[in-house]
Amino acid sequence: MKDLLKLKTSLSEEMENILNAQIKVEAHSSSLYLAMSAWCDDQGLDNAAHFFAKQSDEERQHMLKIFNYISNRGGRAISPEITNIPTDFESFRGVFEQTLQQEMFVTEQFNNIADKCTKIKDYVTFNFLQWFLEEQVEEEYVARRILELFDVIGEEGTGKWEIDRHLVKVTYDGE
C-alpha cells in the first residue's frame, strides 16, 4: 500500500531532492543566526542578540514550511544534519555583513528552484515559492539598512551600543 501511495505523489523526485536541499539551507541559516545571537549576547549587544534569535526562529519556520510542503505533496522530507557553524565572529559589523551574504545566497537558491520549476512545468511548487521570494526581498532589505547604521553612526566609542539601540527600528513595509 505504501508503494501505491508513493506513486500518487505529485512532486517529482528531482524537485523533492531540490526542496530537501533547501531545507538544509534554511536549517543552516537558523543555526548560524542562533550562533550570532549567542555571540552578540556575549558582547553585551542585547538588541542584536534578540534580533538574531528572532531571525533564527524565522529560518526554522521557513524550513518547516518547506518540510511540510514536501510531505503534503506526498514526498519524503528529510531533517538535515547541520555542521560547521561558527561560534565566534570577528566584529559586530561582520555579523551583519555575513547576514546579508547569507540572505543573498538564499535568494539565489530560491531563484534557482523557481527556474527549475518553470523548466519542468511544476507550477504548483513555483506558486508555493512566491512567498519565499517575497520574503527574501525583506530579509535583504533589513540587512542592508542595518549595515547603513554602521556607515552613519560608526563603531567607535559608544557607536556599537548606538547601532544596537537603533537596529530595532529597522523595518520593511513592503511598499
Residue 155 CB neighbours (<10 A): 15
| Cβ atoms of 102 and 29 closer than 8 Å | yes
Number of neighbours of residue 153 by Cβ within 10 angstroms: 17
Q: Tell me the pTM.
A: 0.91
Class of domain 12-169: mainly alpha
SS3 83: coil
State the pLDDT at residue 171: 82
> For the chain (length 175 residues), average pLDDT per consecutive 10?
59 95 98 98 96 97 98 94 95 97 98 97 96 96 96 91 91 74
Q: Model confidence over 66-109: pLDDT tens digits? A: 999 999 999 999 999 999 999 999 999 999 999 999 999 999 99
Count other Cβ atoms within 10 Å, centred on residue 11: 21
